[in-house]
């Protein structure tokens, strides 16, 4: 999208009270680094906190960023090469250190540090920290995955997406950091946004401006923006409290990214290949994620015999999005995954013995029709969906714009009788729960579905009420009703609220709990439980649940 103060974006499309439950620590009591361990270090050497991610049964990735000298600011390319020590212990006091070492970092990697701590025990909680020139970082807490063939009774993840700095505060992260019952956090994309200061805020108003002030174009730009986001105290708290599973969507590059460009890569903004390389380099430097041997980010994690999580990359290999005048969404030559990733995904889903097949999916796979939605909503809904107005049957930036790939994947699930596939999705700044049919029209006749999908809303990015500039739960309610009428497989849709979700997996079912913020513009916003849905073992159906997991 062309940067403006009004979002004309692709996604579809507040509430109040305190997030309840005995497993929640009052948010006001959560330190800015890690509840129950050390408070955040005031030392400027570790101004961007600590993080962990990609847990395996015998190891986990540890991350920090150091500022050894005043000139070693993010994106500067300046400063010395230094040695950073790291420690992993079974206790917060580090009296039982089980792994330690040292690594070097410098301006060539923007003074970021990533360590693959190995030789750890499965299904175990650990504490970690870093030291530079005698100064210690804050303490992080992480955990390893269970052994590959372990019988596991539970997996519980926070699920988040679309965290736009300029549109508000990350109170959703604070509430998740306060929970003591999570095994990790799944972020399915739009961890940060590329727009210039004032380019994409809250209903056109910038709550806190981006740094750098220009749109991200160069390696230095992307590094500085990553650094800004990691100064947020709630983001630091959640990174320090839990290991993360992360994949990217488009704003980590530019709006509506595809393999050869992006809608928000304009003439005069340089070579797209160079911009893409810069975005990827900064991402792998600044995020606790592993990079494949070929540079790929799609990867898979196992949680004993209970679940396997496949994280997708739906930006690097996709064909350009269709428009009303160009491109057929059903063209078999068009792809959203690329052939190698599609083969990897299909073989993983049909080849695993894990009970639940979870898919970290950055854009919605459920087919959606807007045919019953009134015209006054179409432009806003279309901009959120990446939908070319005039072709209202396709969500062009999601799997609706790549129906041959969707048919191939869902047909594979049907033909191989793969049960218990659950897509965990973000991107569209709204909440959805759906049964995923091979195609929308067939569901009207037979009600058959081959998977389910749960979509979390945005942490801060504008929803439908924001685009329409109306009060929440007013005009959008009519659009939700129309969407239900035209899409019988959609069991829940809410277009207005911001917040986060919790996904709970056990052998009997997968449950999704939605929590909505009272006010994204308040750093101390409360949150309330809004909705719970579950899919039972072997059913590929979605049912309402009376309350959140305990």
Q: What is the pLDDT of residues 349-404, one digit of tens each?
A: 999 999 999 999 999 999 998 777 766 676 677 667 665 444 444 578 999 999 99
Q: What is the pLDDT along the chain (550 residues), one digit of tens a residue?
A: 333 333 333 332 322 222 223 333 333 333 334 433 333 444 789 999 999 999 999 999 999 999 999 999 999 999 999 999 999 999 999 999 999 999 999 999 999 999 999 999 999 999 999 999 999 999 999 999 999 999 999 999 999 999 999 999 999 999 999 999 999 999 999 999 999 999 999 999 999 999 999 999 999 999 999 999 999 999 999 999 999 999 999 999 999 999 999 999 999 999 999 999 999 999 999 999 999 999 999 999 999 999 999 999 999 999 999 876 677 888 999 999 999 999 999 999 999 999 999 999 999 999 998 777 766 676 677 667 665 444 444 578 999 999 999 999 999 999 999 999 999 999 999 999 999 999 877 787 788 999 999 999 999 999 999 988 999 999 899 989 999 998 999 999 999 999 999 999 999 999 999 999 999 999 999 999 999 999 999 999 999 999 999 8
Structural contact between residues 290 and 54, judged by C-beta atoms closer than 8 angstroms: yes
- The pLDDT value given to residue 398: 93
- The pLDDT value given to residue 371: 75
Q: Classify the C-alpha dihedral 455-456-462-468 as positive or negative.
A: positive
Structural contact between residues 368 and 487, judged by C-beta atoms closer than 8 angstroms: yes
* Residue 61 to residue 83: CA distance in whole angstroms: 18
CA distances from 271 to 260, 354, 459 (A): 10, 43, 31
* Residue 439 to residue 224: CA distance in whole angstroms: 43
- pLDDT tens digits, one per residue of 173-187: 999 999 999 999 999
**Among residues 137, 138, 155, which one has the least CA distance to residue 146?**
155
* Residue 381 to residue 376: CA distance in whole angstroms: 9
Instruction: Please report the beta strands in 237-368, taking only residues with DSSP state E, as ranges in sequence order.
Output: 243-246, 257-258, 261-262, 299-303, 307-311, 356-361
- pLDDT tens digits, one per residue of 84-93: 999 999 999 9
């Amino acid at each position: 999208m062309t940067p403006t103060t009004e979002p004309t974006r692709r996604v579809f499309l507040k509430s109040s009270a305190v997030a309840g439950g005995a497993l929640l620590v009052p948010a006001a009591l959560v330190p800015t680094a890690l509840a129950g361990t050390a408070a955040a270090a005031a030392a400027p050497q570790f101004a961007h906190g600590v993080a962990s991610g990609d847990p395996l049964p015998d190891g986990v990735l540890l991350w920090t960023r150091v500022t050894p000298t005043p000139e070693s600011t993010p994106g500067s390319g300046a400063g010395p090469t230094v040695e950073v020590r790291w420690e992993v212990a079974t206790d917060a006091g580090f009296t039982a250190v089980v792994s330690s070492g040292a690594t070097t970092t410098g301006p060539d990697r923007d003074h970021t540090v990533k360590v693959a701590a190995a030789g750890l025990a499965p299904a175990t909680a650990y504490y970690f920290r870093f030291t530079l020139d005698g100064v210690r970082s804050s303490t992080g807490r992480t955990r390893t995955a269970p052994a590959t063939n372990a019988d596991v009774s539970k997996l519980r993840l926070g699920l988040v997406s679309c965290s736009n700095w300029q549109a508000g505060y990350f109170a959703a992260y604070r509430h998740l950091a306060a929970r003591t019952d999570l095994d990790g956090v799944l972020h399915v994309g739009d961890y940060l946004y590329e727009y210039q200061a004032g380019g994409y805020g809250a209903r056109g108003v910038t709550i806190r401006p981006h740094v750098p002030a220009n749109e991200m174009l160069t390696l230095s730009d992307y590094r500085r923006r990553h650094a800004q986001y990691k100064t947020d105290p709630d983001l630091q708290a959640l990174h320090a409290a839990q290991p993360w599973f992360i994949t990217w969507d488009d704003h980590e590059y530019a709006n509506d990214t595809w393999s050869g460009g992006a809608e928000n890569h304009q003439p005069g903004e340089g070579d797209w290949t160079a911009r893409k390389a810069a975005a990827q380099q900064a991402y792998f430097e600044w995020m606790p994620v592993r990079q494949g041997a070929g540079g790929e980010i799609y990867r898979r994690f196992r949680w004993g015999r209970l679940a396997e999580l496949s994280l997708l990359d739906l930006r690097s290999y996709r064909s350009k999005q269709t428009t009303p005048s160009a491109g057929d969404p059903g063209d078999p030559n068009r792809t959203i995954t690329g052939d190698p990733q599609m083969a990897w995904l299909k073989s993983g889903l049909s080849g695993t013995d894990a009970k639940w097949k979870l898919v970290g999916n950055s854009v919605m796979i459920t087919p959606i029709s807007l045919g019953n939605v009134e015209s006054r909503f179409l432009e806003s809904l279309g901009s959120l969906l990446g939908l070319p107005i005039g072709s209202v049957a396709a969500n062009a930036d999601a799997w609706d714009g790549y129906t041959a790939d969707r048919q191939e994947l869902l047909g594979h699930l049907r033909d191989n009788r793969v049960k218990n596939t659950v897509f965990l999705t973000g991107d569209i700044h709204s909440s959805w729960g759906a049964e995923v049919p091979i195609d929308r029209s067939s569901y009207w006749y037979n009600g058959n579905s081959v998977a389910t999908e749960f979509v979390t809303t945005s942490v801060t990015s504008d929803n439908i009420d924001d685009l329409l500039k109306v009060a929440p739960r007013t005009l959008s309610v009519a659009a939700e009703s129309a969407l239900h009428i035209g899409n019988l497989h959609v069991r829940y849709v809410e277009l207005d609220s911001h917040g986060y979700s919790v996904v709970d997996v056990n052998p009997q079912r997968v449950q999704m709990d939605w929590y909505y913020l009272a006010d994204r513009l308040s750093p101390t916003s409360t949150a309330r439980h809004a909705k719970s849905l579950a899919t039972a073992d072997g059913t590929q159906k979605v049912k309402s649940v009376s309350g959140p997991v305990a």
